[in-house]
Chains A and B, each alone.
Chain A
Amino acid sequence: MRDGQIILQDVGVGYRIYREKVSTLKEAVANRFRHLRTAEKFWALRHVSLQIPPGDAIALVGHNGSGKSTLLKTIAGVLEPSEGAAVTQGRISPMIELGAGFDPELSGRDNVYLNGALLGFSHKQMAAKFQRIVDFSELGDFIDLPVKNYSSGMYARLGFAIAQDVEPDILIVDEVLAVGDERFQEKCKRRIQDFRAAGITFVFVSHSLSVARELCPRAAVLHHGRLAFDGPTDAAWERYRELERGPAPGPVFQA
């Protein structure tokens, strides 16, 4: 395997759905732990096989609850598949969401180091990146303000500025370009294209055809946890539209 390669083989992620939500010991004892046996499995993802070679860029599309985020989390290693296997090679930027792990009480500066440590970087390594990160985020003196005082755009800018500087082999992002103003979005897109040019594998969730087409030649469509399509982005979009027009989507939870 080469760095940046992702292989998903028949991946399934099942959540237990407890008919009665048991979260206290008393209930569990009272029911003699019956809930552990009668739980039904809800498959957020099942029988998904994907081969993503190094340097490939793939967009994940699908309706809400189709399993996109679950798939991202599985690739990132946040979730372990309950069946099948997810194998990756190389450093993954495990940032499912920009600015995940920011502590609102701490300053932007402290958060850069905290986020770096969350991604496995030492203080020294982050110190070397620090100025670049601040420059990219265009935050200037605001870097010493507590993050809770940031606007959502500033928050996302700092988040992306960190994520773009962690030298991953695989970059995984959920809805990266939904925030920030247009100019900053353009900047992010350019940076991602640099990544692509440098041969970094790129996986992201998209709700926009134009962004997906710009960044990824390939797209996978998820439909109720199954892989419904894998191929060129335009065709994938067709398939997605078609599925959305189809019969009312699956598991309907009635009140």
Chain B
Amino acid sequence: MIEAAQETRPDAVAPQAQPLPQGTRRPPRIVEVWRFRQLIALLVVRELKVRYKRSVLGLLWTMLNPLLLMVVYAVVFTTILPAAQPNFAVFLLAGLLPWLYFSTALMQGLMSVLVNQELVRKIRLPHAVFPLSVVGSNLVNFTLSLVPLFAMMAALRQPFTPALLFLPAAAVILTLFCAGVTLLFATATVFFRDVRHLTEVLLQMLLYLSPVLYDLKQLGAHQSWWFQLFRLELRVNPLSYLIPLVRDPVYYGRLPSVPTVAVALLWASGGLLVGFAVFTRLEPRHIHHL
């Protein structure tokens, strides 16, 4: 029986650190996340199940969504602005699909730790499973949305070339990048809720600052300083390298250039490393900010 006499201990005196026996050590975070891969898969399934429950068209929405968006942009660009390229619908869709993957995963993913705070408070698990599962469910959506893309290509007699076999690799690189950015923004949102609103605005700007609705090749050669600045931004913008991974095989029927793939890979792996490192570093403090 131990009556606690601790009330009198002055707080200023640091408790003497005694060597503690080694218990079950927390494994490295990356190992922990790997152990919970089945949970990530289940959360992906849950996400898809819950999202389309009670909607008549269900998963079809995943395919209809980018199509409808594409129609809007196609109408705007072909009737109002006459600068359209041949098979503009395919061109647009090929740029919109990776863009939608990135932006939707980011917007959903940055809220994911907050949305799942009930679990975070009560069960010990790596918090990264939540943003990662959002990226996973959006990867499923991205893959499904290739179906309407191919349908559109067939309808418009866009040639199917062997370069299309690059698409799985493109999906992998995109996914790594999405995962990194989403992890980074998810942890930031825990500490500052307005990251969400800020990101919403930034994404709208980024859509026009990235070669999604237009192509780098279409840019003229103005000499004005703001145009130079825009060019510089495009050279730094990771999406300038990620979007062509999909668009080059689909629209131009050729593999993306080696430098493009190299820079895209660099952004993707660097982004994931930084995102994961920052996320796991701040993870123990999440619970105090929920």
Residues of chain A touching chain B, judged by Cβ–Cβ distance below 8 Å, are 1, 5, 7, 9-10, 15-16, 23-26, 28, 46-47, 73, 76-80, 83-85, 87-90, 92, 94-97, 100-101, 103, 105-106, 110, 113-114, 117-123, 226-232, 235
Contact = CB atoms under 8 A, between A and B. Distances in A.
Nearest to B284: A80
Interface stretch (B74-82, B189-197, B263-271): B189-197
A-B complex: 4 closest residue pairs judged by Cβ atoms? A87-B23, A231-B1, A117-B39, A100-B122
A96 B122 contact: yes
A230 B1 contact: yes
B67 to A, nearest CB: 27
Contact of A114 (B42, B192, B195, B284): B42
B123 A28 contact: no
Contact of B121 (A78, A84, A87, A123): A78
Contacts of A80: 284
A16 B119 CA distance: 22
Contacts of B194: 24-26
A236 to B, nearest CB: 9
A15 B192 CA distance: 17
Interface string B14-56: 0100101111101000000001101100110010011001000
29 contacts: A1-B23, A9-B18, A25-B195, A26-B194, A47-B6, A78-B120, A78-B287, A79-B287, A83-B15, A84-B15, A85-B20, A90-B24, A96-B123, A101-B118, A103-B46, A103-B50, A105-B49, A106-B46, A106-B50, A113-B42, A114-B43, A118-B123, A118-B125, A119-B123, A120-B35, A120-B39, A122-B38, A230-B2, A231-B2
B38 A123 contact: yes
A28 B39 contact: no
B217 interface: no
Given A5-B23, A94-B124, A103-B46, A47 B288 contact: no
B123 A24 contact: no
A128 to B, nearest CB: 14
B9 interface: yes
B122 to A, nearest CB: 4
B122 A97 contact: yes
Contacts of A15: 288
Nearest to B7: A226
A47 B23 contact: no
A229 B3 contact: yes
Given A9-B18, A87-B20, 16 more contacts: A25-B195, A47-B6, A47-B15, A87-B22, A95-B122, A100-B118, A103-B46, A105-B49, A117-B36, A120-B35, A120-B36, A123-B38, A227-B6, A229-B4, A231-B1, A231-B2
Contacts of A5: 23
A10 B119 CA distance: 27
Contacts of B53: 105
Contacts of A16: 288
A237 B120 CA distance: 32
A78 B122 contact: yes
B49 A106 contact: yes
B198 interface: yes
A101 B122 contact: yes
A195 B250 CA distance: 60
A79 B287 CA distance: 7
Contacts of B122: 78, 95-97, 100-101
